[in-house]
Structure 1
Amino acid sequence: MIEVKLFLSLLIIQNVFGQCPLVPSQGSDPIPSIPSKFQTRVEVNTESQMTEFRYFYNYDQRRAAIETRKSNNYQKLIFNYDTDEIYELNNKIDFVSDPLHWPPDGRPEFPTTCTTYKLSNTSRLNYYFGFTSSGGSILPAVPAQIFNFFPITYAGKDNIRGIPCDVYKSCAKDPSTNADFVITHYFSDKSFTLAGGDQTFNRLPIRAVYEQKIDVEDAPEILSFIEWPHTFDTPSSVYCSNRKATKQVPSIQIAFGFSQEITSNSQIQYVKDFYTFDNFSRYEIRNPRKEEATFYTQDPVVYISELSAGIQYGINQRHGNCSVRGIKSDTIYIPKLNQTFNSLLDFLAQIQSTQSFLSFDSEFIYTGQKFSNGISSDRFITNKTSGIYEYTFSDEDYVVFNNYESETRVPLSLYIDNKQSKLSSHSSFFNFETLPPSNILRLFDISSCFYQNETIDFDIVFQYRGIVLPEDILNEKQLDIVMYGLLNDLTRESTIRFKSPIISVSSDGNLYVRSGIFPLPHPITFFTFIERTLIYGSSLAYFYNLRDVEECAEKCFNNEKCLSFDFSSGRSCYLYNRTVTDGSSSSSSYFDHYTMLSQSLIFDILKEPKKKRFFHLNCMQFQSQKH
C-alpha cells in the first residue's frame, strides 16, 4: 500500500442552486488518481473564525476519522465500518479549571463524553466519507466519492500560491441543507514536484472551492501533519453508551494469585493476593495508610481467612507474630457485616465470586488495543454506579511466564474513575497466575500462629503397592492436594487447619503421611458483638456468676444447638438457638448480644481413635487408617 500525505488549504463556500450542469470530461487522463489511504490537516478561516480539521481515511482497512477544533471545543468522529457505528467524542478545553498536561496511558486531556450512532443511517455524520453495502458488510465510499468526483469536468489551468495546478469542477449535494453546489478542485500539475508526493500519486489536491450561498474570505495555508497513534480508537477511560461488543471478555479462573500496586488519590498501596474457591483467601498489604492500620500494626500483614468458620489470621511479616480474630467487615467478603441484621446471612462471611472480587464481568466492552506496562493489551470498559472501570488484558498472542506455567490473556491494569466522588485509582497487576493445586494450599500455612505443643500430630498409613517404582517417588509432591482432601474428608475439618503433610513412599509398599491439626481459636472469636441488645423469650440454657464473656462464649460454642447468647454486666449468660433476626430482640442497658459468624460450627476433631474408609487416588483404590 502506498501512503501519501495530502495537503488541503481551504474549503470556500459560495452560492449556486439548481441541478449540476457539468458534463464529464473525455480524454486519456480526465481525473486525478486518489490513494485508498490518506490523511490531511485543513485549516479554514471563515468570517473571523478559524476551524481546524484532521481527516484520516483507510479504505482497505475500512477505517476513517475526523477531528474538529473550533474555538475551545474539540470533536472527534470515529467511523467503525465493521460494526456499523460512529463514535462521537466531545470535550471542551478549559485552561482555568484543568491545567494543560499530558494525561497518562492515552487518556484525553480534558473530560470527554462519547455517543454512539448507527453509521448506515443517513445523517450529516456519515456524509463526510459516505458508505456502501456489499455482501452484508458496510464499506466506506471510494476516494473519488469522498472528493465528489461525480461527474467531473476539466476546467483548465491556474496558479495557486505559485503552484501550477490543473482545475476540475464537480457537483455534490448536501443532505443536511438539501442543497446542490459546485466544487472547484485544484490539483498540482504532474510536472510539479511536492514534498510528500511520489511517482504514483504525483497530483496532490491544493484547494477545493465549494460554491453555494455565502461568500467568505479566503485565507489559505499549507500545514504540516503528524499521524497520532490510536487514531481510530476511543480514548482511555471514555465510555460510549450503547456500543456494540466486538470481542468476548476474557475468563478468569476461580483460583488465582497476583501482586497489585494501587495508586488512588495520591496514595500508593501494595497488595499481594491469593484467592481460591475452597472458602479460603490470602492477601498481604504493604504500606497501609495510617487510618487503615490492621491488627494494631503498620507492618506488612498477611491475612489468611477461613470463611467456613468465619476466622481470620493476621501474620506480621516483620516480627512473625500472629493474631486471630473473627472476620469483620471487609472489602473481599459479601455480604458485609452490618448493623441491620435482617437475615442470618448478615452475620456470615462469604467469599465473593471471581467476577465480583475483581469487579470484572460480561458487561465490559472491547474498545481497542494499547500498550500496558510495555505489553500489547486489549482494553475493556464498562460504566458502573461506582464509576467507569477500564481493564487491560494481555492479548492472545502474548504469553506471560511465571514460576509454575505460562499464562495468556491475564489482567494487566485497572482504571477506576468516579467523577462524582472525585475518586480515581489505577491498579497494576504483576505475576498474575492461575494457581496450581499442588502449590496453592502451602500458601495458606498458619502454623506460625501456634506453639508446637498446641498441635495434635498424627500419621496416616496407606497400603500402596508391593513394588515402588521410581516415578512414584517423583510424584510425591503431586499427592499434597490429594492428602489435604483426604484429611478434610476424614475429619470434616477445614483444610487450612492442617499442617503441610509430609509424604513418603516406602519400599514396604505403604504410603506414609505425617501431619497435624491446629487448635481452634478462642470461642469468643466466632461471635459478632451487638452492644446493648438482648433476646427476650425462652433460652436453651442459663448460667450465672461466670468468669467473663469468653466463658459464656465457650458454653455456647460447645452446645450444638446454640447460635447466640446474651451476657450481662452481672456475669449472667443465656444461650439461644436463634438470633436477633427473628424480631425477638430489644434494647438493654445491662446485656450485650453475641451471634455466631459461621454456619459451619460443629467440629469433629479426631474424636475417634480409628476410622476406615476407601478412597480413589490416581485411579487406584487404597485403604486408609487414621491413628
Structure 2
Amino acid sequence: MSTISHIRHFFLLLIAIKTIYCQTDPTICPEGSITKPDDPRWHQIHGRFEISGEYVLNDGAFEVSQAFTLGRDAIFVTINGVPFQHYYNFETKEYFTLSTLILDQAPVPLCARSIITDQFATSNISAGVVKPSILLGFDTHNKPNELWATRLLGEGVIRGIPVDIFTSCFYVPDIKATISATYFYSNVTKFVSNLGRGQPILVRIDVKSIVAGSRQDYTFNIFRFTPHPRMNEEIRALQTPSGFFCENRTNTKHLPRDIPERLSVNSEVQFPAWNHSILSGHEMYDKQSEFVRFDAYLGRFGHYTEIHDYITGLNYRYEHRTQRCTVTDITVGYDAQAAEGQPNFVRMSDGLEFFLIEGLLFHYTGVHRCGERINCHVWLGEKVLTGATKGVQRREWYWAFEVNGFELPNMIPMKLILTDVDERGRQTQLTEINMYNYNRNPIATFEVDYTLSECYRALGPKKGYHYGVVKFTIENDKNYPVQKNIQYLQFTIWYTLTVYLQLRPVRISNIIIDHEDKDLLVTFTLLDVPPKYGPVEHPLHEHTLATLIERLERMINNNLLAFRAKYGTKEVELRARKNSLAAIFTNEKTVIKSSGMLITGLWIGFLVFGILIGVGATFIIVKKYTSN
C-alpha cells in the first residue's frame, strides 16, 4: 500500500511539473522551467532573512525591503519619498496595508485588513513586480518552492565584485506570471563578504517577466542581505508599528489579566500637547482595603495627595503646600464605577477596569523596545468615546517580558499610550504614561494613614473630623535592645492594635517610639469615624474614637495588650504597662479624660499641630486616567 502511495505521489508531481512547464511563456523561457536540483555552486537561501535594495524599472525606481520568515513577511516600499507597508501573516491568513494620510495637515494612520484566500495574490508588489522572496526560491505562501531551481551561466564582475552568474525560469501561479531571472552572487573563492569567509552575498537580480501577455523587465539592486537575523530584530521587523489600529485583527497573544488586588507603581505622565509637560508621581491601588491613593507633583501648582475611600464613599484631597484638605463624595470616573442596578451608588473599579483593560478587545502587535535592554509585548485596543466627544480612544499597552536577555517570571506594565481621535481619524489628544517600580504586593496602608490624619487635622472638629493622640508605655525591665529593629516594632504595634481594637488600619498612624528609662513610650494618632458617608451601598460603621479609647484602656489595665519584638535573631514578648494610657482627644460635645497618669482635656487640633512628627514620604504618583 505504501508503494502505491509513493507511485501516486510521484505521478502527481510529474503532472504538476508538466503543467507548470506548459504554463511558462516560451518568449522568455524557451526551454521551459528550470527544475531541481539546484546548481552545485548555488548557495541555498534559508527561510529567515532580511533584504533591502532598489527596484529599477523603465519608468522609474523605488526602494524595497523585506523581512521574511516561513510563516510571515513584511514588505516596505518607498515611492517618491512616500512609505507603504505590507504585512502578510499566513498563520492567521491576514494581510495588512499600512499608510499615513495627511488630513488638514495632520497625519492619520490607516490600516486596511484583508483575508488571504486561495484567490488572493500574495507574490507581487505591483502588477508585474514580485517580492524578493519569490525571486529567491519561495512560493506564494512563504514555503520553499519545489518547482524553482538555478543553473550556472558563468562568471563576471559587478560593482568590482567577482560574481557567479546563475539563471532561473519559473511560473508564479497566483498572478499567472512567467519569470526569468539572472542572479549575480559573489564568488566565495575570490571575494570575502561582510558575512564572513565562505558566505556569498547577492549583488543584483535582473528580471524579465510576462504577466497576462504584458512584458515587464526590471533590475533589483541589492544593498543589504542579512541571513538569520537576530530573533528580536526579526520580530520587530515583522510587527506592525505603534499607533496603527487594524480593525478585526486576529489576536495571537492574550494581554495579561492577572492584575493583583493590591499594587503600587511610580509613573511619569507626558502631555505632548502641553509642550511635553511631565507629571511625576506615585499611585497605589488596594482592592482588599478598598481605597486608591494618588500622590502627584504638579510643578508650580504644588503637590497634592488624593485618597478615595470606598468603605466610606469619601474622597480626601490634601494640598501639601497650603495644608488644606477637601472632602467630597466619590463620583463615577477614574477608579469609580456605577454600582450595577444602583446608579446612585458607586463601587471601586476592579484591577482590569483600573488599568483600562476591561471591556476592550485588544490585539497583539508584536515586540518593542521599552527601555534600555528591556523588551515589551505590545497590545492595542480601541474604545468608542461617548458623550460630547465623538470618536475613539486607542489604548496601547507595553508589558515587559525580558530584561537583559532574561525572561521575567511575571510580565510588568511599562507604558500606556492613550490616543483620542475624532470621527475623521485625526488625533485630538495624546497621553503617554511610563511606569516604574511596579510592586505587586505593597504594604499599602502605610501610604494612606498619615495623609488621612493630616486631613483630619486640617479639617478639625468644627467640620466634625475628630482625632486624638494616644500614648502608653511598654514594659522593658530587662532592657532588651528592641529599638535596633524599630521598623519591625512599629509594624507589630500597628498590626496588634488594629486586631485588638477591631478597626480599619488606616485609622492608626504616626506611630512614634521613644525611651522612657528602660521602658518604651509609644505615641500614635487615632482617627474618629467621619461625620458623613458618601454614595456607597454598604458603608462601614465603625466604633467611635471614645469607644476605642475605653476599650484600649481596659485591655492595658487588664494586662492583655502584648507585642512581639525582635533584636538580632531573638524574639521577645513585651506588654503594655498597667495604667499607662494617656489619651488626649476632643469630642464635639464633651472632653473625655481617661484614668491614666497624665490626662489633660485639650482641643486636639492644637496639640497635634505642636507635637506630632509627620511620617516622611517620598512617594510620587501617577495619572489621572481618563474616565472613558
Same fold per TM (> 0.5)? yes
Query: Is 1:41 the equivalent of 2:76?
Result: no
Q: State which of 342, 347, 351 in structure 1 corresponds to 2:348.
A: 351
Deviation at 1:415, TM superposition (A): 0.6
Matched residue, 1:124: 121
Contact 2:374 2:402 in 1 (8 A): no
Deviation at 1:235, TM superposition (A): 0.7
Residues 432-486 of structure 1 show CA distances to partners (whole Å, capped at 9, x for unaligned) of 334632873466433323459953344578899x97865x544552354554454
TM alignment of 1:48-197, pairs within 5 A: 48=59, 50-57=61-68, 64-69=73-78, 74-78=83-87, 84-85=91-92, 88-94=95-101, 97-98=104-105, 111-113=109-111, 115=113, 124-125=121-122, 129=133, 141-142=143-144, 145=145, 150-155=148-153, 168-177=166-175, 179=176, 181-188=178-185, 190=187
2:542 aligned partner, one-letter code: F
Go from structure 1 to structure 2 and tell me whether the alpha carbon gap of 1:602 and 1:323 turns closer, same or farther (over 3 Å shift). same
Paired-residue identity, %: 13
Go from structure 1 to structure 2 and tell me whether the alpha carbon gap of 1:440 and 1:226 turns closer, same or farther (over 3 Å shift). farther
Q: State which of 378, 390, 394 in structure 1 corresponds to 2:400.
A: 394
Go from structure 1 to structure 2 and tell me whether the alpha carbon gap of 1:169 and 1:219 turns closer, same or farther (over 3 Å shift). closer
Deviation at 1:492, TM superposition (A): 4.8
Go from structure 1 to structure 2 and tell me whether the alpha carbon gap of 1:493 and 1:350 turns closer, same or farther (over 3 Å shift). farther
Go from structure 1 to structure 2 and tell me whether the alpha carbon gap of 1:217 and 1:151 turns closer, same or farther (over 3 Å shift). closer
In 2: Cα distance, 1:40 partner to 1:88 partner: 20
Query: Is 1:604 the equivalent of 2:543?
Result: yes
Go from structure 1 to structure 2 and tell me whether the alpha carbon gap of 1:358 and 1:246 turns closer, same or farther (over 3 Å shift). closer
In 1: Cα distance, 2:347 partner to 2:405 partner: 34
Contact 1:185 1:205 in 2 (8 A): no
In 2: Cα distance, 1:19 partner to 1:616 partner: 100
Residues 302-349 of structure 1 show CA distances to partners (whole Å, capped at 9, x for unaligned) of 11232211223222121223333333444222228xxxxx95x43444
Contact 1:264 1:424 in 2 (8 A): yes
SS at match of 2:547: coil
In 2: Cα distance, 1:392 partner to 1:220 partner: 41
Unaligned runs of 5+ in 1: 1-12, 100-108, 131-138, 290-297, 337-341, 401-405, 528-595
1:358 aligned partner, one-letter code: F
Q: State which of 260, 279, 284 in structure 2 corresponds to 1:253.
A: 260
SS at match of 1:266: helix
Go from structure 1 to structure 2 and tell me whether the alpha carbon gap of 1:184 and 1:473 turns closer, same or farther (over 3 Å shift). same
Q: State which of 482, 487, 494 in structure 1 corresponds to 2:504.
A: 494
Query: Is 1:319 the equivalent of 2:322?
Result: yes
Deviation at 1:356, TM superposition (A): 1.4
TM alignment of 1:510-549, pairs within 5 A: 514-523=523-532, 526=533
Contact 2:346 2:536 in 1 (8 A): yes
Contact 2:562 2:575 in 1 (8 A): no
Q: State which of 456, 469, 484 in structure 1 corresponds to 2:468.
A: 456
In 2: Cα distance, 1:311 partner to 1:25 partner: 78
Aligned residues: 495
In 2: Cα distance, 1:238 partner to 1:232 partner: 14
Deviation at 1:35, TM superposition (A): 4.3
Matched residue, 2:20: none
In 2: Cα distance, 1:315 partner to 1:98 partner: 43
Go from structure 1 to structure 2 and tell me whether the alpha carbon gap of 1:170 and 1:331 turns closer, same or farther (over 3 Å shift). same
Residues 159-211 of structure 1 show CA distances to partners (whole Å, capped at 9, x for unaligned) of 8899886554434332314x473523232573775976864244735224344
2:42 aligned partner, one-letter code: P
Deviation at 1:391, TM superposition (A): 1.8
TM alignment of 1:460-499, pairs within 5 A: 470=481, 473-499=483-509
Contact 1:455 1:517 in 2 (8 A): yes
TM alignment of 1:202-213, pairs within 5 A: 202=200, 204=202, 206-213=204-211
Unaligned runs of 5+ in 2: 1-23, 125-130, 135-140, 385-392, 565-570, 582-593, 595-628
Query: Is 1:367 the equivalent of 2:360?
Result: no
2:291 aligned partner, one-letter code: F
2:184 aligned partner, one-letter code: F
Contact 1:442 1:500 in 2 (8 A): no
Contact 1:80 1:86 in 2 (8 A): yes
TM alignment of 1:278-357, pairs within 5 A: 278-287=289-298, 298-335=301-338, 345-357=342-354
1:497 aligned partner, one-letter code: R
Matched residue, 1:555: none
Residues 192-245 of structure 1 show CA distances to partners (whole Å, capped at 9, x for unaligned) of 759768642447352243443445464647364598963222211334544343
Residues 125-169 of structure 1 show CA distances to partners (whole Å, capped at 9, x for unaligned) of 379658xxxxxxxx9545xx4xx7734444567888998865544
In 2: Cα distance, 1:170 partner to 1:116 partner: 32
Contact 2:206 2:220 in 1 (8 A): no
In 2: Cα distance, 1:310 partner to 1:85 partner: 48
After TM superposition, the score normalised by the length of structure 2 is: 0.62
Q: State which of 431, 435, 455 in structure 2 corresponds to 1:429.
A: 435
In 1: Cα distance, 2:201 partner to 2:258 partner: 52
In 1: Cα distance, 2:171 partner to 2:225 partner: 31
2:356 aligned partner, one-letter code: S
Contact 1:457 1:514 in 2 (8 A): yes
Deviation at 1:281, TM superposition (A): 2.1
Contact 2:156 2:163 in 1 (8 A): yes
SS at match of 2:394: strand
2:221 aligned partner, one-letter code: I
SS at match of 2:336: coil
1:448 aligned partner, one-letter code: E
- Larger CA deviation: 89-98 vs 616-625: 616-625
Contact 1:46 1:216 in 2 (8 A): no
Query: Is 1:413 the equivalent of 2:420?
Result: no
In 1: Cα distance, 2:44 partner to 2:29 partner: 28
SS at match of 1:309: coil
Go from structure 1 to structure 2 and tell me whether the alpha carbon gap of 1:424 and 1:182 turns closer, same or farther (over 3 Å shift). closer
Matched residue, 2:608: none
Residues 396-438 of structure 1 show CA distances to partners (whole Å, capped at 9, x for unaligned) of 43599xxxxx997432221112323633221122443346328
RMSD of aligned alpha carbons: 5.1
Matched residue, 1:32: 42
SS at match of 1:346: strand
Contact 1:457 1:516 in 2 (8 A): yes
Contact 2:210 2:216 in 1 (8 A): no
Deviation at 1:74, TM superposition (A): 4.9
Matched residue, 1:593: none
